Structure 1
Amino acid sequence: MPINLVFLLLLCSLTTSTIFNTSRALQFPQELFDFSRDFVPINSPSMSPSSSSYYNIVSISPSPSPASSAPLVPAFFVLGDSSVDCGTNNFLGTFARADRLPYGRDFDTHEPTGRFCNGRIPVDYLALYLGLPFVPSYLGQTGSVKDMIQGVNYASAAAGIIFSSGSELGQRISFTQQIQQLTDTYQQFILEMGEESAANLISESVFYISIGVNDYIHYYLSNESNVQNMYLPWNFNQFLASTVSQEIKNLYNISVRKVVLMGLPPIGCAPHYLWKYNRGNGECVEEINDMIMEFNYVMRYTVYELREDFPDLNIIFCDMYEGSMDIIKNYELYGFNVTTDACCGLGKFKGWIMCMSPDMACDNASNHIWWDQFHPTDAVNAILADNVWNSLHTKMCYPMNLKDMVAPPK
């Protein structure tokens, strides 16, 4: 193997490792408010327009309503991390990029789009269920109101609730920065259509939030700033939940009224941790999954509190752990036969290094649960989207699913 390639593989391994133990002088609470490092402009979308075309993928789920039908809501806005990033990180200086094949090989264009998947991510399926086109990346469109009127995707791979989560991978747009980008978009709407019309559009639209996994992968589990000695998982989860709660209140203040808050998936079953913890038989790392279940419990209760405090806030919590474990435990019923190994990667379970070239990928991703060391395949995303929409396979969302949320009042 050429020395250059060996060096590249080692470099990527180091930068994507979840055990990144460099000590920092900043203590945990102070670090959250340090917005100076790796700052990314939050109001400067690229002038390169993004595509919002559609395609047909054979999956076990029924075909959503075509996007040409009357939309159920005016727009669909997305905030989060690599689970829903549709191209934001293509415009950033970061190792967390999915702008090369085989990422996107099963997408409509069969080209990489910035999605961390072989094909669609969950919000693509949900957009079609809502009767809307795929949502463009905030940094991947011109910034005109016309481009953003049906929704915008602000999600950024490696982003977390904590500002510094994922910083070792390079630039990323944190959850707080994404909220600011959304606020800027709202101000543009007000200037273009007036305050009342803008508020009506925002209040009738759906806002999807999928954030928090990097606060474990790139912060707590890697023990950044010695966080594990200061916070037990329960206290850490409460801190994350309180931060998310405050950001949702900030969204409420700009007229947001329909929110889908996603829980975290069972990352203790991800190929990277199977490799790292040397799980010979592929059994999940329970100590990690226990933390994730605890996080989801706290977030579900947070949603309950928000609904109590703001009766006109229609917010639901969707437990990704429940939905994902149902797939893992009943994989044969869903048509999967590879449950531990990623389709693309290197090392045992293909969990050592992320997917970097087409030669590292399997031929057929549809029978795999995992696409790369952390992310599921398009087939899994389709199932999870079905559950968020109408609980087709198993109940994930509380107190209702998305279809019930957007249904016209009787």
Structure 2
Amino acid sequence: MASFEYNRAWGVILPVLFLISSNSPSWVLGAPQVPCYFIYGDSLADNGNNNNLETQAKANYPPYGIDFPDKATGRFTNGHTSVDIIAGFLGFDRYIQPFASAKGSEILIGVNYASGGAGIRDETGQQLGDRISLNHQLQNHLVTISRVRDMLGSNATAYLNKCIYTVGMGSNDYINNYFMPDVYQTGKLYTPEQYADVLIKQYQQQLKTLYSYGARKVAIFGLSVIGCAPTEISRFGTNRSLCVDKINSAVMLFNDRLKPLVDELNRNLADAKFTYIDFFGISTAGLPVLRVASSTCCKVREGGLCISFETPCSIRLLHAFYDGFHPTEIVNLVFGARAYTALLSSDAYPFDIHHLAMI
């Protein structure tokens, strides 16, 4: 019976993977398309930066990593993250190392600064404990730049200009800030429209700071359907809808401001090539087959993370969410593949990461 169910799962998933692979290059070893890849983000991209922090936002224990070669590394999923997938498509034959442990010449192929619980706003996620906000991640990048200059000298700036940078921030500014009125004031101070404006204004300055540090090829990830996360549904209810509509509506207000932001940055910053990846659209229009199972794959504790060492679901291919917040590897594969090579014209604006790398 288990074998039949697993085969049936592949029968559902394989058509999706075929559509991806027919529009995307295969993972191959060889020279990467860009010299390095730098990653900024939250738990969707964290690959170990939170492991040694005093925080509830950790994933360095089973059943996280059950399908990952190195097992529980700190990735908040069963296998690869979307940025792992993107790194593979870019031609890197090694995983981009977390800032917490990257050393020596490893930094020349890039660094992952992402931190679970982190946000655009410095206070975001503070109830979880330590986390590395986007401002702090940018400070960490200055440390990396200093090390790169020590190795490459006067060639460092030109080298960094050629790299790919991805930034995926904002989810926690809603989940672990705006929609926690008992902890944060933002939900009382701002309407959803005002809060989106406040976030975008700060985000704009942070992206300009990243540009001033040498970033020229930057992909900005839009927020996904965080109102469909099982823990958010459990917390707020859906009022007969499929998801928590007030959260997804607020997220859309933020996402709607990202295209104009990309246009403004490209227009006003010399040689800037910013682009927007529409993860919300990919979630709603591109992953209907993965809604077969909307419950969590692992057993979760209060707060939405997996209970340590509990056995997760056996057919992970049919689950969109691994824990109460984070997608399974199959969803990350779709996100990463379509961020790299757009399957629909709406997936990326003005171009996907493949074209960004070729510029």
TM-score, normalising length: structure 2:
0.89
User: Equivalent residue for 1:83?
Assistant: 44
Query: How do residues 391-402 of structure 1 correspond to structure 2 at under 5 angstroms?
Result: 391-392=342-343, 395-402=346-353
Aligned length: 340
User: Equivalent residue for 1:320?
Assistant: 279
Shift of 1:64: 5.2
Amino acid at match of 1:104: G
User: Equivalent residue for 1:262?
Assistant: 221
Determine the C-alpha separation between the residues in 2 that align with 1:226 and 1:403: 40
Determine the C-alpha separation between the residues in 2 that align with 1:263 and 1:235: 18
TM-score, normalising length: structure 1:
0.79
- 2:121 aligns with one of 157, 162, 167: 162
Shift of 1:336: 5.3
Shift of 1:392: 2.7
User: Equivalent residue for 1:122?
Assistant: 82
Q: Structure 1: 5+ residue runs without aligned partners?
A: 1-57
User: Equivalent residue for 1:227?
Assistant: 186
8 Å CA contact 1:64, 1:128 repeated in 2 = no
Query: How do residues 84-123 of structure 1 correspond to structure 2 at under 5 angstroms?
Result: 84-109=45-70, 111-123=71-83
Query: Which piece of structure 1 moves more, 387-396 or 291-300?
Result: 387-396
1:341 aligns with 2:295: yes
Secondary structure of the corresponding residue to residue 109 of structure 2: coil
8 Å CA contact 2:237, 2:244 repeated in 1 = no
Determine the C-alpha separation between the residues in 2 that align with 1:353 and 1:250: 33
User: What CA RMSD, in Å, does the superposition of the two structures yield over aligned residues?
Assistant: 2.1
Secondary structure of the corresponding residue to residue 341 of structure 1: strand
8 Å CA contact 1:103, 1:117 repeated in 2 = yes
Determine the C-alpha separation between the residues in 2 that align with 1:218 and 1:336: 25
Shift of 1:399: 0.7
8 Å CA contact 1:82, 1:157 repeated in 2 = yes
Offset from partner CA, 1:261-289 (integer Å, 9 cap, x none): 11111111110122122348671111111
- 2:165 aligns with one of 172, 189, 207: 207
Identity %: 32
Determine the C-alpha separation between the residues in 2 that align with 1:307 and 1:181: 25
Secondary structure of the corresponding residue to residue 264 of structure 2: helix
Determine the C-alpha separation between the residues in 1 that align with 2:223 and 2:109: 27
User: Equivalent residue for 2:11?
Assistant: none
Determine the C-alpha separation between the residues in 1 that align with 2:27 and 2:177: 40
Distance 1:342 1:327, change over 3 A: farther
1:237 aligns with 2:192: no
Determine the C-alpha separation between the residues in 1 that align with 2:211 and 2:330: 34
Secondary structure of the corresponding residue to residue 91 of structure 1: coil
Determine the C-alpha separation between the residues in 2 that align with 1:71 and 1:79: 20
Offset from partner CA, 1:19-43 (integer Å, 9 cap, x none): xxxxxxxxxxxxxxxxxxxxxxxxx
Larger helix percent: 2
User: Equivalent residue for 1:404?
Assistant: 355
Determine the C-alpha separation between the residues in 1 that align with 2:345 and 2:238: 28
Offset from partner CA, 1:196-233 (integer Å, 9 cap, x none): x1101110000010111111111100024422221111
Larger relative contact order (CA 8 Å, sep ≥ 6): 2
Distance 1:242 1:371, change over 3 A: same
